[in-house]
Chain A
Amino acid sequence: MAKYSITVNGQSHEVDALEDMPLLWVLRDIIGLKGTKYGCGKALCGACTVHLDDVAIRSCSYPVSSIGAAKVTTIEGLAEKGDHPLQKAWEEHMVPQCGYCQTGQIMNAAALLKTNPNPTEEAIQQAMEGNLCRCGTYNRIKAAIMSAASVSEK
């Protein structure tokens, strides 16, 4: 066990954890932020996606000891009022079915738009390939990302 100081959504947290504990479980079990989901534990499904600085990472496979001074952003911190252009587009396109994978999808898409504000359909597909949805909302996810991107462009 070791003590770590990590910054999540702009807030500093002191956590006492095993050094190989993945960030996912630190967020969920220690800090109590449950919008980030467990899906596979092996970086295969993207349900646990958060941002480390501005980059999307799979928090299920990212040990707490590797975070250092980097800033973690979760779905709870994506937009204070829950009105990020992607969240709005997600609602407009009525994307979710069961909803379980959707926070990971949104976080992954948000990281994409930071580096590529106006992605082509192919770029979206490539970026989102690591995020599984068992209910099958892929087409609406794609449409929502495209409309959020076009809104941000204006």
Chain B
Amino acid sequence: MKKLSKTQGGVAVTSEVFKASRRDFLKMGTLLTGSLVLGVSFSGCDKKSNKKVAFAPNVYLSIDGQGKVTIVAHRSEMGQGIRTSLPLIVADELGADWNKVKIVQAEGNEKKYGNQNTDGSFSVRMFYKPMREAGAVARLLLMQVAAKKWDVSVDRCDTEAGYVILTGTDKKLEFGELAEEASTLPVPGVSAVKLKERARFNMIGKPTPIVDLHDITTGKAVFGIDAAVEGMKIAVIKRSPVVGGSVKSVNDQKALKVPGVHKVITVKGAGLPATLSKPLAGVAVIADNTWSAIKGCELLEIEWELGPNASYDSAIQIQELTKEIAKSGKVRRNRGNFDAARGGAKKVIEHTYIAPNLAHATLEAPAALAVVKDGICEVWACTQNPQGAIKAVATALGFAEDKVKMNVTLIGGGFGRKSKPDFIVEAAILAKESGMPVKVQWTREDDIHHDYFHSLSVQRVVATIDKDNNLSGWNHHIAYPSISATEDPAALQPSDGELGLGATDFPYQVPSIRIETHDARAQIRVGWLRSVRNIPQVFAIGTMLDEVAEARGIDPVANALELLGPDGNITFSQETGKEAYPNYGEDIAVYPWETARMKAVIQRVAKESGWGKKLPVRSGLGFAAHKSFLTYVACVVQVHVDENNTVTIPEVHYAVDCGTAVNIDRIKSQFEGGAQFSTSIALKSAITVKNGQVQENNFDGYQIIRMSESPQKIHVHIIDSEAKPTGVGEPPVPPFTPALCNAIYAAIGKRVYTLPIDLRT
């Protein structure tokens, strides 16, 4: 599965700081003579092959003669705050004046920046330490110069707000005065530098406003849709309504008569398999402006060869999968003997859980600009994965990868959609064929119809309670079209990676566990959406556990704490028959599954939310907890359900252990946003497909929550920790929906088995 095969996954990384060549840094446009310029390179050892892996430098840092610090941000910004969080780590360790730090967005360049694929809640986890080391090395060099000037030992020096200071005196020297000489010193190895004590952080662990804040509030921020070059034309594309379809014939006469329309070009498309990188078949109208292109598109007369997916109906697939999961499946994890547990059970609880296809619906629809000139393709795009986009464009154009230049804009919402470069490839193909700079603009309808969808799922969970009132058996049946199938149509079963997102990593101490999967065919493009398979898998698990607690006559929070067992680390490997549980690409010895940390977030959320408190009629509290992307989260949702069965959410409490907290405010905002994102999933959103065609068109049919429907108060309690930091982009999503469902049960006694929630049925 692409999502989990990350370059750094399974590699123990060490970093090294080196003096970068001026040329490497020239692009930043800030380089004056006398600047100290450092790069950080990673090298590591692949734990599988035991081979040395050399990584390119991922960080560039310069300090010029004026004391200006420039830091390259090499990950994509899509609202998670990474353009702020990674540079602030460097700046804090360096002791820089944050007001004098300039941040430059890196272009896509694997040789220069290593892996830039921004997904998997990955950036802070991977780059926290190297960023600190880069700052620490620069700090040491500057202090060495100052120490020499003052004729003191380096230990007496410190840095603060852009100065090296001599401790115990009021002597200080600005970074700018020291940079030139520092640039002539040999660079110490990272093992020679001492990282700051935690108590001395000025920014890490505190709230820092994002660097793009003012540009955003004044409309100056540049997203993919805003990219422009001289002479640019706009393309809007009418794509095959069915995945795998192709263009049989086109009559473009009417389209070409629209004033402003220049050309109509057919885009061949991937056919089948649809792939995670190639465009769909379509016909593009290229015009002077977006409106002419949209109008031209509406007037195209296209005959489609719709292909084998034209018979696909998502409602029928749900019915079929519901029958399928009633049978035995392929066993993917086995502990004890579930059949024996079921045979000896005092009580058996069994339910089927259904969740729909979902679209990302980023507020910025996909858009990319490409210019092809003199054998070089230059692109500006809102991409989460600039290197993936370079590869896809190079392949499509038959260019070498170094002939594709990828400029990364701000991303107006990603959630996994903008990891796929199909829209960028469209721009490149059209720019090459038309000989004009072309920006491809997706309409909202295009976006809703032709997404890489989070695919529908049907699950069945059977829980058994024995005569001693213990949860004795857990049997989870899972069926959904796999992400793998978008590349390989023969993939009918969930991949190990997908199951590792909440299913096979079921952490509770149940004597018999059997997880079984079933075939499901993908007939739409399936991709990953914020927290991916955790969404349905944890919906089923988290709501079933609430029923288990009820059946046992135990409070749900106490039930979870008890089932986690004694403090210790869980490994899953022996029971899955695999070498190792995927663990989000990390070695489980380095990032263990610690029950104590999970219990701590559960206890914290119970305390902060006033778990067990008395509430008005038709109000209730619901609880769920889940670790994903290596971050521990527990959630309590309070709901009120009125007489018309309208659900409102007055309050949400999250407790999170993401190790060392970097930017407190952005952790909170990711959880606030995660709660809202999940509320859409729980209450509103569904994509349905008939005759292979998506039935929803825009935000009227595919709904996401509005202000009045959103959780009113969201409290985020961050566990104080010095553990290695882990990501927060996706972990808020999974536990929210089951907590909400459990709260609805507490409020009105109705269980939820189907998403989105419809209390009328």
Contact B289 A25 (CB under 8 A): yes
For A100, what are the chain B residues with a Cβ–Cβ distance below 8 Å?
A: 223, 362-364, 412-413
Contact of A98 among B290, B412, B712 (CB under 8 A): B412
Cα separation A22 to B292 with both chains bound (whole Å) = 11
Contact A129 B79 (CB under 8 A): no
Q: Which of A1-56 contact B (CB under 8 A)?
A: 1, 17-18, 20-22, 25, 28-30, 32-42, 44-45, 47
Q: Does A146 contact B (CB under 8 A)?
A: no
For B212, what are the chain A residues with a Cβ–Cβ distance below 8 Å?
A: 96, 99
Contact B706 A132 (CB under 8 A): yes
Q: Which of B356-377 contact A (CB under 8 A)?
A: 361-365
Chain A min CB distance to B66 (Å): 25
Q: Does B206 contact A (CB under 8 A)?
A: no
Contact A136 B708 (CB under 8 A): no
- With known contacts A28-B290, A82-B214, A137-B673, A37–B443 Cβ distance under 8 A: no
Q: Does B264 contact A (CB under 8 A)?
A: no
Main DSSP-derived SS at the B contact region: loop
Contact B669 A41 (CB under 8 A): no
For B361, what are the chain A residues with a Cβ–Cβ distance below 8 Å?
A: 134
Chain B min CB distance to A102 (Å): 5
Chain A min CB distance to B290 (Å): 5
Contact A140 B412 (CB under 8 A): no
Contact A40 B412 (CB under 8 A): no
- With known contacts A34-B226, A45-B699, A139-B713, A91–B214 Cβ distance under 8 A: yes
Q: Does A133 contact B (CB under 8 A)?
A: yes
- With known contacts A87-B218, A139-B672, A139-B712, A44–B362 Cβ distance under 8 A: no
Contact A139 B714 (CB under 8 A): yes
Contact B290 A38 (CB under 8 A): yes
For A37, what are the chain B residues with a Cβ–Cβ distance below 8 Å?
A: 223, 225, 363-364, 412
Q: Which of B61-100 contact A (CB under 8 A)?
A: 77-81
Contact B707 A129 (CB under 8 A): yes
Chain A min CB distance to B569 (Å): 33
Q: Does A70 contact B (CB under 8 A)?
A: no
Q: Which of B289-306 contact A (CB under 8 A)?
A: 289-292, 294-295
For B216, what are the chain A residues with a Cβ–Cβ distance below 8 Å?
A: 96, 99, 102-103
Cα separation A140 to B673 with both chains bound (whole Å) = 10
Q: Does B234 contact A (CB under 8 A)?
A: yes
Contact A40 B209 (CB under 8 A): no
Q: Does B675 contact A (CB under 8 A)?
A: yes
Convert A73-90 into 0s and 1s, putting 1 for each residue whose CB lies closer than 8 angstroms to a CB of B. Answer: 011100000100001001
Q: Does B698 contact A (CB under 8 A)?
A: yes
Chain A min CB distance to B738 (Å): 18
For A134, what are the chain B residues with a Cβ–Cβ distance below 8 Å?
A: 361-363, 413, 415, 677, 704
Chain B min CB distance to A132 (Å): 6
Cα separation A106 to B219 with both chains bound (whole Å) = 10
Chain A min CB distance to B219 (Å): 2
The interface size bin for chain B is 35 or more
Chain B min CB distance to A48 (Å): 11
For B675, what are the chain A residues with a Cβ–Cβ distance below 8 Å?
A: 136
Q: Does A97 contact B (CB under 8 A)?
A: yes
Convert B200-238 into 0s and 1s, putting 1 for each residue whose CB lies closer than 8 angstroms to a CB of A. Answer: 000000010110111111111111011010000010000
Q: Does A128 contact B (CB under 8 A)?
A: yes
For A131, what are the chain B residues with a Cβ–Cβ distance below 8 Å?
A: 706-707
The interface size bin for chain A is 35 or more
Chain A min CB distance to B711 (Å): 8
Cα separation A98 to B239 with both chains bound (whole Å) = 28
Main DSSP-derived SS at the A contact region: loop
Cα separation A137 to B674 with both chains bound (whole Å) = 10
Contact B219 A74 (CB under 8 A): yes
Chain B min CB distance to A13 (Å): 15
Cα separation A37 to B77 with both chains bound (whole Å) = 18
Cα separation A75 to B222 with both chains bound (whole Å) = 14
Cα separation A87 to B215 with both chains bound (whole Å) = 10
Q: Does A62 contact B (CB under 8 A)?
A: no
Cα separation A24 to B712 with both chains bound (whole Å) = 32
Contact A137 B669 (CB under 8 A): yes
Q: Does A71 contact B (CB under 8 A)?
A: no
Contact B218 A75 (CB under 8 A): yes
For B706, what are the chain A residues with a Cβ–Cβ distance below 8 Å?
A: 129-132, 138
Chain B min CB distance to A139 (Å): 6
- With known contacts A94-B207, A99-B212, A136–B710 Cβ distance under 8 A: yes
Cα separation A101 to B699 with both chains bound (whole Å) = 14
Q: Does B665 contact A (CB under 8 A)?
A: yes
Q: Does B444 contact A (CB under 8 A)?
A: yes
For B413, what are the chain A residues with a Cβ–Cβ distance below 8 Å?
A: 98, 100, 134-135
Q: Does A125 contact B (CB under 8 A)?
A: yes
Q: Does A57 contact B (CB under 8 A)?
A: no
Cα separation A45 to B79 with both chains bound (whole Å) = 18
Q: Does B259 contact A (CB under 8 A)?
A: yes
For B673, what are the chain A residues with a Cβ–Cβ distance below 8 Å?
A: 97, 135-137
Contact B707 A125 (CB under 8 A): yes
Contact B672 A140 (CB under 8 A): yes
Contact A136 B672 (CB under 8 A): yes
Contact A29 B672 (CB under 8 A): no
Contact B219 A94 (CB under 8 A): no
- With known contacts A99-B221, A135-B79, A125–B213 Cβ distance under 8 A: no
Cα separation A41 to B698 with both chains bound (whole Å) = 9
Contact B708 A97 (CB under 8 A): no
Q: Residues on A close to B: CB < 8 A?
A: 1, 17-18, 20-22, 25, 28-30, 32-42, 44-45, 47, 74-76, 82, 87, 90-91, 94, 96-103, 106, 124-126, 128-142
15 new A-B contacts at CB < 8 Å, known A36-B219, A99-B412 = A29-B234, A37-B363, A37-B364, A38-B365, A39-B363, A40-B698, A41-B444, A94-B210, A96-B216, A97-B670, A97-B673, A98-B78, A98-B414, A99-B212, A100-B362
Top 10 A-B pairs ranked by shortest CB distance?
Answer: A35-B219, A136-B676, A100-B412, A98-B79, A97-B79, A99-B216, A136-B673, A75-B219, A82-B218, A29-B289
Q: Residues on B close to A: CB < 8 A?
A: 77-81, 207, 209-210, 212-223, 225-226, 228, 234, 258-260, 288-292, 294-295, 361-365, 410-415, 441, 443-445, 665, 669-670, 672-677, 698-700, 704, 706-708, 710-714
